[in-house]
Copies of this chain bind each other. A is one copy, B any other.
């Protein structure tokens, strides 16, 4: 909708996988999500603009080729992957599903672009989690190094923290290859944890609302804390909460995509942006939410279901998107207050049993 609103002819491709995960896990978005045709219809009513839709799966190569041939885009914004670390860690089957779905879907798309029109700019959603938590500064995708008196510019070394994050590392390597060997142009957006739920476009009509996930599998940390505060539930901090992550406001996320699309990578260039605007530890995020909430808030430190460093260095370079013109919305009182309102209006929809983490990083013995 942000691209459409900015004057781009836009189409959406969807296999509705995200909706099926809700069915499987017995959860739903805090704010109701309308069907795709209702949403595109509502968008046409409020904006006068058409968003075409193609229903199918990136794993279906014929469908991918047909869609690219039919719409012939200048850019493909690829967000069509399984995106939750805990979902990928449920068990072997979910791990295999995640890596198969993400890696092969992306590979089909790379081939379709290479064979149909290598000028098409791929804007791919990666994640800051690809990097893990190295003890050195996190640069934007590439690293200039000196070793034994010689120098090279190498792909930034990755050490991700889940099967899902690994799938994005695999994607990044495949995309870099496609740029280097087939001269494709690609931008890999290593996105931080997104917070917020409204953009200027979704706010135009309730039927345009986007997801607001609160559950232990798909709910991202700041959104989940806001929901827990309003419900009078403790904010569930995993471990000490010293884990630090990059964050980004949902309004900046959509703006970053516009900036990437309107300023394409060069032919053969694998361009990486760290799509985040500030870093905070999980305990700092909990404190911000607790401080803002008008009522009492309890913070509960749970045993961390993930295997990750409890305290670590974290310093991320993220100048690329700002150089293209991004004006970050930093986390503010106003934003958090407005989120309390959205939660209040929908809190009857919450299943509080789903707030706690149900997925552990260590596999169950099956000897």
Residues of A within 8 A of B (CB): 61, 65, 69, 92-93, 95-96, 99-100, 103-104, 107-108, 111, 114-117, 134-137, 143, 145, 147-148, 150-152, 154-163, 166, 169-170, 173-174, 176-177, 180-182, 307, 313, 361-367
| Chain B contacts for A307, CB-based, 8 A | 180-181
Q: Which of B61, B150, B160 contacts A135 (CB 8 A)?
A: B150
| Chain B contacts for A366, CB-based, 8 A | 65, 115-116
Assembled-state Cα–Cα distance A182/B99 (Å):
18
Assembled-state Cα–Cα distance A152/B182 (Å):
33
CB distance from A149 to the nearest CB of B (A): 9
CB distance from A90 to the nearest CB of B (A): 12
| Most chain B CB atoms below 10 A, which of A92, A95, A134, A151 | A92
Q: Known: A115-B367, A116-B366, A154-B157. Contact between A103 and B99, CB under 8 A?
A: yes
From A114, which residue of chain B is reached at the shortest CB distance?
A: B363
Q: Which of B145, B152, B159 contacts A176 (CB 8 A)?
A: B159
Q: Are B159 and A137 in contact (CB under 8 A)?
A: no
Q: Are A159 and B136 in contact (CB under 8 A)?
A: no
Q: Which of B61, B99, B107 contacts A104 (CB 8 A)?
A: B99
Q: Are B177 and A151 in contact (CB under 8 A)?
A: no
Q: Are A116 and B367 in contact (CB under 8 A)?
A: yes
Assembled-state Cα–Cα distance A104/B107 (Å):
15
Q: Known: A92-B61, A177-B160, A177-B163. Contact between A134 and B152, CB under 8 A?
A: yes
8 closest A-B pairs (Cβ-Cβ)?
A115-B366, A154-B157, A92-B111, A135-B152, A136-B147, A170-B170, A181-B307, A114-B363
| Chain B contacts for A65, CB-based, 8 A | 366
Q: Which of B93, B114, B137 contacts A150 (CB 8 A)?
A: B137
Assembled-state Cα–Cα distance A95/B181 (Å):
14
CB distance from A40 to the nearest CB of B (A): 28
| Chain B contacts for A177, CB-based, 8 A | 160-163, 166
Q: Which of B69, B107, B147, B152 contacts A96 (CB 8 A)?
A: B107
CB distance from A320 to the nearest CB of B (A): 18
Other contacts beyond A61-B92, A143-B147, A159-B180: 6, CB < 8 A: A107-B163, A115-B364, A136-B148, A137-B147, A163-B177, A182-B363
Assembled-state Cα–Cα distance A363/B117 (Å):
11
| Most chain B CB atoms below 10 A, which of A107, A151, A154, A176 | A154
| Most chain B CB atoms below 10 A, which of A151, A160, A363 | A363
Q: Are A136 and B151 in contact (CB under 8 A)?
A: yes
| Chain B contacts for A169, CB-based, 8 A | 170, 173
| Chain B contacts for A95, CB-based, 8 A | 107, 111
